[in-house]
């Protein structure tokens, strides 16, 4: 998803004059949906990790699943921030193209 997002950002930057703001808005909606799904998954892993932290106080056998969960959680947090930053870049590009089309109509 990261590669697809940043390839699309590069495409928009290189074709600013030929791309419609509505097209960018549709892609932003797709990426927002993806971001929401990854946020839910990240929160789920965080909740599971906290549950296993509590279970570690009962038995040390839960250290292994907690370690696995923290690794997944770190990767999901990094991935979520990549999506977040990419979508915010699209917001700025959308505003830029929308402002240029308003100036061209005047």
DSSP 1-70: -HHHHHHHHHHHHHTTTT--HHHHHHHHHHHHHHHHHHHHHHHHHHHHHHHHHHHHTT-GGGHHHHHHHH
The string of pLDDT tens digits covering residues 33-77 is 999 999 999 999 999 999 999 999 999 999 999 999 999 999 999
Q: Is the pLDDT of residue 6 over 80?
A: yes
Q: Which of 74, 103, 87, 78 is nearest to 29 (CA)?
A: 87
The string of pLDDT tens digits covering residues 83-96 is 999 999 999 999 99
Which pLDDT band holds residue 106 (cuts at 50, 70, 90)? low
Q: Residue 22: what pLDDT?
A: 87
């Amino acid at each position: 998803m990261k590669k697809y997002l940043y390839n699309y950002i590069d495409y928009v930057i290189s074709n600013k004059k030929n791309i419609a703001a509505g097209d960018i808005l549709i892609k932003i909606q797709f990426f927002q949906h993806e971001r929401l799904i990854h946020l839910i998954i990240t929160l789920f892993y965080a909740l599971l990790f906290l549950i296993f932290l509590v279970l570690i106080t009962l038995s040390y056998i839960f250290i292994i699943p907690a370690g696995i969960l923290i690794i997944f959680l770190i990767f999901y947090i990094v991935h979520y921030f990549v999506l977040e930053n990419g979508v915010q870049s699209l917001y700025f590009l959308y505003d830029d193209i929308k402002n240029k089309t308003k100036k061209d109509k005047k």
